[in-house]
């Protein structure tokens, strides 16, 4: 598994990140607490850029903001030369408030509301990734009324079934996303007839948390073949967008390839087959999200109670759980957990870490071996930077946690902890 770039365990067994002790962070900002390491985020962005610059220079990177969309995080990735992949008006609003150049924004989604299409046109975003004919018609109609042209990529279903959880597979034939290949002739006809549409390229996404670079290579190969069909009908494919980046190492058994190997695989397919298919060195676009922010994040919990059931199990209850990280209850996601001030202790005991919420399935870790914990101990969960905060809720009317950004021994609050007043601010008492 992977730690943030700046994470360390002192000789006293205390965990630090960004030069700040986890104990200090918990004391100052409270728990549960999301912590993001700025250096790791920037490092991951640079690793992608460097790897593909050497293998396929005509590559652009679009951060998948659904992984974690906050003003400060988006500002950082934009500073590192990344554009943004958005899939809602709210993500667009956040991006614009963060100062992201609208020209670098790609708007995804399988059911974009008409008003959000309007917002994106008004913002003059760079690309719409069109998912269906209804959307194509709506976009064309709105752009016509404005006297403008909308740049589009079309999302195609490549029929590539990646080895990952079924909930995060998106490229198999039976999917709600993308045009089926059988529908391409009609799609091409509609694009050519749309007067306010500027066709730029094609897009596909086969899923997330994928470790096999070969799956992405196969997807790229399929897209090149499909791109040749578009070109034959007079639609030049200037961009090929293959979706997200590689998976990350949540636990020791996860084994993603190095980014350099990933880049080499994709570049080899493009260089060998694009020219043969009549595509003139198309721009490659990637949309990493989890692999940019996932390893950069940790979550700190405080232990509230320890319950021993003789002969069955020891339950440890913490002050967070499925509210701040629903991934374990949704699809059995696994993480690495350590005791914040006894990370080097060799004596381990089997314990199950449960959340505070009123669901039996609110279990973060089942039967993990860590030092025996007690009330008020701090637990640190690694690789929580992606899809924790962005999928968080207010279940049981509990306020969502704060988030801090650490770097060079300093911690800055980038999301305030919610209050009870925040919980009812949109309620109306009748």
Residue 93 to residue 1: CA distance in whole angstroms:
34
Q: Has 383 been annotated as catalytic? A: no
Residue 317 to residue 281: CA distance in whole angstroms:
55
CA-nearest of 299, 303, 301, 338 to 317 is 303
CA-nearest of 5, 41, 35 to 23 is 35
H or E element in which residue 411 lies: strand 410-415
Q: Residue 48 carries which DSSP code? A: H
CA-nearest of 73, 118, 92, 130 to 292 is 73
Residue 204 to residue 198: CA distance in whole angstroms:
18
Write down the residue that tokens 């570049």 correspond to. 267
Between the two ends of the chain, the Cα-to-Cα distance in Å is: 51
Burial 354-377, CB ≥16 within 10 A → b, else e: bbbbeeeebbbbeebebbbbeeeb
Which of the following is catalytic: 276, 309, 312, 358? 358
Reduced to 3 DSSP states, what percent helix, strand and coil does the chain have, rounded to the nearest 5?
A: 35, 25, 40
CA-nearest of 114, 113, 65 to 92 is 65
Q: CB neighbours (10 Å) of residue 24?
A: 12
CA distances from 62 to 90, 101, 136, 166, 391 (A): 17, 12, 22, 24, 20
Residue 118 to residue 113: CA distance in whole angstroms:
9
The tokens describing 188, both together, are 């091409």
Side-chain half-sphere exposure of 216, counting CA atoms within 13 A: 32
Name the E strands within 65-196: 83-86, 105-107, 127-130, 150-155
Whether residue 349 contacts residue 388, with contact meaning beta carbons closer than 8 Å, is answered with: no
Active site residues: 358
């Amino acid at each position: 598994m992977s730690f943030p770039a700046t994470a360390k365990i002192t000789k006293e067994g205390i965990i630090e990140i960004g030069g700040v002790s986890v104990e200090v962070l918990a004391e100052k900002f409270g728990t549960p607490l999301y912590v993001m390491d700025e250096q790791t985020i920037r490092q991951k962005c640079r690793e992608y850029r460097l790897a593909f610059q050497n293998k396929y220079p005509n590559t652009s990177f679009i951060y998948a903001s659904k992984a974690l969309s906050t003003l400060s995080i988006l500002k950082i990735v934009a500073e590192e030369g990344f554009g943004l992949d958005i899939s809602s008006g709210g993500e667009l609003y956040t991006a614009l408030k963060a100062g992201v150049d609208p020209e670098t924004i790609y708007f995804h989604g399988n059911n974009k509301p008409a008003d959000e299409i309007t917002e994106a046109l008004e913002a003059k975003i760079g690309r719409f990734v069109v998912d269906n004919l209804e959307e194509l018609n709506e976009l064309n109609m709105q752009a016509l009324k404005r006297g403008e042209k909308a740049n589009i990529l079309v999302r195609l279903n490549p029929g590539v079934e990646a080895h990952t959880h079924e909930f995060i597979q998106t490229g198999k034939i039976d999917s709600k996303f993308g045009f089926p290949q059988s529908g391409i002739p009609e799609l091409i006809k509609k694009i050519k007839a749309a007067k306010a549409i500027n066709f730029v390229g094609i897009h596909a996404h086969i899923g997330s948390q994928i470790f096999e670079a070969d799956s992405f290579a196969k997807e790229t190969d399929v897209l090149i073949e499909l791109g040749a069909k578009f070109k034959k009908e007079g639609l030049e494919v200037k961009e090929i967008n293959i979706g997200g980046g590689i998976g990350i190492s949540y636990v020791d058994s996860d084994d993603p390839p190095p980014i350099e190997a990933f880049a080499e695989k994709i570049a080899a397919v493009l260089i060998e087959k694009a020219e043969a298919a009549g595509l003139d060195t198309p721009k490659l676009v990637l949309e990493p999200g989890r692999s940019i922010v996932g390893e950069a994040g940790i979550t700190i919990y405080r232990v509230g109670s320890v319950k021993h059931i003789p002969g069955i199990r020891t339950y440890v209850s913490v002050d967070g759980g499925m509210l701040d990280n629903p991934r374990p209850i949704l699809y059995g996601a696994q993480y690495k957990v350590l005791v914040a001030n006894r990370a080097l202790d060799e004596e381990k005991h089997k314990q199950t870490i449960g959340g505070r919420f009123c669901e039996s399935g609110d279990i973060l870790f089942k039967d993990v071996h860590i030092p025996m914990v007690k009330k008020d101990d701090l637990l640190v969960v690694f690789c929580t930077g992606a899809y924790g905060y962005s999928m968080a809720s207010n279940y049981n009317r509990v306020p969502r946690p704060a988030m801090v950004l650490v770097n060079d021994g300093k911690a800055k609050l980038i999301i305030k902890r919610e209050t009870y007043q925040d919980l009812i601010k949109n309620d109306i008492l009748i």
